[in-house]
Structure 1
């Protein structure tokens, strides 16, 4: 199995991705069927990253061609590295998974904002992180220390935590951050069920109404859900298994040669294998400054869905 990598998304504004159903006047967000927790579909993230790539050859190599690429008769002219033979539906070099919750902010009367997670959410994330095999117990927090005899209660939204608090010394190992800067400074690990309940209560719900020219309500109203800003999510990604196997065929050799040419064009070493080249090209793409801030989901004109991505 190829190595699993992570791309992190720190929400800068509320983020809404449409769900599969609409209940009454509530426009929900995408949720996991077994946990009911919000997530961002991989197709949404993949499509946004793909659309941000101007280099057609690189876009097709990493994400595969679209129907418009196949039907375009001048594809090979606009991009020398994109041969006419590549105009067929095929898998790209990179796969992307869904974005899952890692830390979500909740309001606190005692500490302003506290970021919460649960053992289940941490285990999911740490599944492929070898040095994070031990998940702390529920009610671990960096808001108390071992020398504190009577820890100060943590007042969360509709919850008070005071009797079971445990000091958490290595909490920073469970909070990925961009460089040396992290907005997440106050963390609390809750039992799975309690954490899930607080997450549902902390989602943004905005009332939408339509006003006529006289500022009177026209028609009905609806609620729209959104994942709150300052939430930290992660996206697993990796290199498709076909990157190595493709080279055994004539078409596979053409793709390998194109990957090699792209790598050399972007200043990468020519001695790396196909997996390393594909991973390196995608990491170069992610590290470009123009992709530091991305807009995911709908309502861009309202300033929604802006995230800071890092790896």
Structure 2
């Protein structure tokens, strides 16, 4: 079975919704039950790429038959959920930081190796909740080696740095853009898992939406609601795999190549497409 890594780079706020919420937020983003980490469901990811494929026979080979004939055979390509890898968080210096945690990086390393790529660099646990690991070229540091993310004051870890991880991620996410590779290296910030969990609840974008009465031009009764979105500059990652299907002559390597071609350019994922949400750039590594 062949596999490739996929990165989803949000150019505008991304709303991978789950329907009506039971909390304060009416329309929250999809989150893993155990970890609370936001993700873009594999079904949503697959559906967008399927729509991109205009060749009927190729679409059937890659993604399987249409719903009415879904039991005929499976598609050659399988899609994982696209899980949060780097969360953009406001920073007092450097405008924003791309924040991640040891747990997220370890899980990414597992997927990285599963895709047949070279191993990821090692990373020790972050020393404590008030500590952050950054690169030696970071622009996130203010006086006294502090890093200010939202309302959190963190201390730069002086015993280790994130250079190797910044170079690995930069090369994968921005393979042909040295300027953006440097930009990522200057803003990568690895925080304690508990701090990351806190930021996942506080650093998402909360958008108030209003429905206006056409006649009175005032808010309709019940016409105010709140949507949660992952901010622009969010980066998610996942895996696509391909295998030989008996009813399908398409080779796995060819199937992955065709899927990568469909992922070129800017695509729209998630809800609120008509108001510009969910415009993303994909990279297949």
Work out whether the TM-score is over 0.5.
yes
3-state SS of 1:45 partner: helix
TM-fit CA distance, 1:164:
3.6
2:108 maps to which of 125, 129, 133: 125
Conservation of the 8 A alpha-carbon contact between 1:5 and 1:238: yes
1:305 maps to which of 271, 278, 284: 278
Conservation of the 8 A alpha-carbon contact between 2:242 and 2:253: yes
Structure 1 segments unaligned to the other structure (5+ residues): 71-86, 247-251, 260-276
Instruction: Calculate the TM-score normalised by the size of structure 2.
Output: 0.83
Bigger-Rg structure (1/2): 1
CA-based RMSD of the aligned residues comes to 2.4
For 2:137 and 2:154, the matched residues in 1 are separated by: 12
Q: Cα–Cα, structure 1 residues 153 and 55, in superposed 2: closer, same or farther, change >3 Å?
A: same
Say whether residues 1:156 and 2:149 are aligned partners: yes
Instruction: Calculate the TM-score normalised by the size of structure 1.
Output: 0.76
Partner residue in 2 for 1:215: 217
Q: Cα–Cα, structure 1 residues 215 and 116, in superposed 2: closer, same or farther, change >3 Å?
A: same
TM-fit CA distance, 1:286:
1.9
Structure 2 segments unaligned to the other structure (5+ residues): 127-131
TM-fit CA distance, 1:142:
1.4
For 1:59 and 1:189, the matched residues in 2 are separated by: 40
The 5 A counterparts of 1:8-157 are: 8-19=7-18, 21-24=20-23, 26=25, 27-67=27-67, 70=69, 89-127=72-110, 128-129=112-113, 130-132=118-120, 134-138=122-126, 139-142=132-135, 152-157=145-150
For 1:194 and 1:153, the matched residues in 2 are separated by: 15
For 2:136 and 2:197, the matched residues in 1 are separated by: 21
3-state SS of 1:114 partner: strand
**4+ runs deviating over 6 angstroms:** none
For 2:156 and 2:271, the matched residues in 1 are separated by: 42
TM-fit CA distance, 1:111:
2.4
Conservation of the 8 A alpha-carbon contact between 1:11 and 1:307: yes
Q: Cα–Cα, structure 1 residues 143 and 216, in superposed 2: closer, same or farther, change >3 Å?
A: farther
Higher relative contact order (CA closer than 8 Å, sequence separation 6+): 2
CA offsets per residue over residues 72-118 of structure 1, 9 Å max, x none? xxxxxxxxxxxxxxx96210111000000111110011221111000
| Equivalent residues, number | 260
